[in-house]
Amino acid sequence: MPIKTTKKVTNKKVVKEETKPAVEAKKEEVKTAEVKKATKPAVEVKKEEVKPAETKKAPAKKATTKKAAKPAVEAKKEEVKSAETKKAPAKKATTKKAAKPAVEVKKEEVKPAEAKKAPAKKATTKKATAKKTTKKATTKKTTTKKVTTKKMTKEEQYAKLSLDTCLDLAKAMSMNVTRDSIIQQLILNPDVKSVSKDLVNKYQLTGKFNFEEDGYDEGLVEVLVSKVYETADIKPQKAEDLQADVDHALNYKFTDVVADGEEYKAQFDTMRKVLMIAQHKDIHDSKNLDEEIGIDVEKFVEEFMNLAYSVLKTWKYEDVDYYEHFIYAVLSQLEDLHDTYRNRIMMDVADLYILHGDYGLGDADYGYILRENQIKDYIYYRYASIYEGVDKDKAKQIANQALQFVDDRFTYYPNIIAVLEG
């Protein structure tokens, strides 16, 4: 700005020396023309400069215009006076030069006004920011309050889980369990806490998982077993409802593989209900159970074992394993029947294992029975005869071993000789 002013002053001096007489001759005309021309650019500039100020802040419009206008007028007066000393040909140059200082003065005047407005803007922004911050802070506090209010205990969270979700979490804990496998365990032992404890011990879950970190722990096992117990038909049935089912079982005649299989399922379910009544009533003698439910329990147990032995020869190995555990649970509950059918059920199960190819387990069961019994003729006969359809050489070998303990005084001696000569 100072450099421009110096150049203009130098030009003005030159003009004064060269054109002084001409200016005096036409003073009035030049003055009028110059005022008009000088005023127009100044006004246009003012409009352009004032518009941004108006857009930014309406209240500051009047103050800015007044402050900017005064210096502009003063500038005009100085310009007119200078123009009086110039020639007519220098009109255009003078007009342009006169307009520039007006613009410069306006810029200088507008800048302070803008500087004053800026702090006000920042202050407003700060207030707005402060309000937003306060709102955010309030929202956060409210959210935290809601979360705290809705927080549930571990037991409450477990209670809201579905059975399928519990089973999925059990898999995540490396438990190889299904709803059916848990039902089977509950049938043998309908106590939820006892079955849960057995599962925790079996899979070594104590202290292995942390609820806060993993979302589950060993406490989930009891929840799972409890949900299975609640949703499955494993509760004791009324005695009168069982009587018709037991009567049907005692009168059933073997027909074919399919029909016998369906009957086995039905009798298994009935026997399960009989067992559960005995467990809940804490009955350990079949005669006492007869009086409780009005059926011949021993006859039903024998019929059930006969049907199972026939059907399970063609079923899967896993079915044999489950039957073994189930029938031993029945005989362990009814102690008088255990003493009567202990050897018979062990041989039945051993035969079924041999027929399904598990010779090691079948042989081990027979070896145990032979060691525990003094009268061995029937046991040897059963043992040898089951191998006749599997391995005849082994069947003859077993019959030959029997002759060390069995002679013609024993009931099943002829049967053992028949296997040996067969």
Domain residues for the domain of 197 are 157-231
pTM value? Answer: 0.54
Name the domain boundary from 231, 251, 285. 231
Domain shared by 76 and 188, yes or no: no
d(CA 185, CA 88): 121
pLDDT value at residue 150: 62
Tell whether 385 is covered by a domain.
no
Q: Is residue 336 in a domain?
A: yes
Q: Residue 112 — very low, low, confident or very high, per pLDDT cuts 50/70/90?
A: very low
Q: Is the pLDDT of residue 200 over 70?
A: yes
- Would residue 204 count as lying in a domain? yes
Confidence of residue 388 (pLDDT cuts 50, 70, 90): very high
Average pLDDT over residues 22-34: 42
Angle formed by the axes of helices 257-281 and 317-333, nearest 10°: 30
Residue 226 has what pLDDT? 92
Instruction: Give the range among 135-144, 302-311, 358-367, 384-393 with minimum mean pLDDT.
Output: 135-144
Q: Is residue 98 part of a domain?
A: yes
Q: Is a pLDDT exceeding 60 seen at residue 40?
A: no
Q: Which residue type does 239 have?
A: A
Instruction: Name the most confidently modeled range: 27-36, 180-189, 378-387.
Output: 378-387
Segment of 47-51, 130-134, 237-241, 343-347 carrying the highest mean pLDDT: 343-347
DSSP states of 211-233 as a string?
A: HHHHS--THHHHHHHHHHHHHSS
- What's the pLDDT score for residue 113? 42
C-alpha distances in angstroms, 79 versus 45, 66, 404?
16, 20, 148
415 assigned to some structural domain = no
Check which CATH number belongs to the domain holding 359 and give it.
1.25.40
In a shared domain, residues 247 and 322: yes
- Is 260 in the same domain as 321? yes
State mean pLDDT over 354-367. 96
pLDDT at 11 exceeding the cut of 50: no
What span, in angstroms and rounded, lies between the C-alpha atoms of 221 and 167? Answer: 9
For residue 136, what pLDDT band results from cuts at 50, 70 and 90? very low
- What is the count of structural domains for the chain? 3
pLDDT of residue 328: 94
Pair (199, 294) in one structural domain: no
Burial of 124 from C-beta contacts in 10 A (0-12 / 13-18 / 19+)? exposed
Asked if 252 and 226 sit in the same domain, the reply is no
Report residue 360's pLDDT band, with 50, 70 and 90 as the boundaries.
very high
Give the mean pLDDT of 380-404: 95
* 329, pLDDT greater than 80: yes
> Is 13's pLDDT higher than 60?
no
Cα 286 to Cα 279: distance, rounded to the nearest angstrom? 12
Residues 333 and 208 in one domain: no
* CA atoms within 13 A of residue 21's CA, in its CB half-sphere: 1
Q: 256 near 307, Cβ under 8 Å?
A: no
Average confidence (pLDDT) over 205-231: 91
Q: Do 214 and 246 have their domain in common?
A: no
Q: Is the pLDDT of residue 303 over 60?
A: yes
Q: Has residue 35 got a pLDDT over 70?
A: no
pLDDT at residue 272 is higher than 70: yes
Q: Which of 104, 135, 166 is the last residue of a domain?
A: 135
Say if 54 falls within a structural domain: yes
Instruction: Examine residue 103 and state whether it is found in any structural domain, yes or no.
Output: yes
- Compute the average pLDDT of residues 50-77: 40
pLDDT range class, residue 403, cuts 50, 70, 90? very high
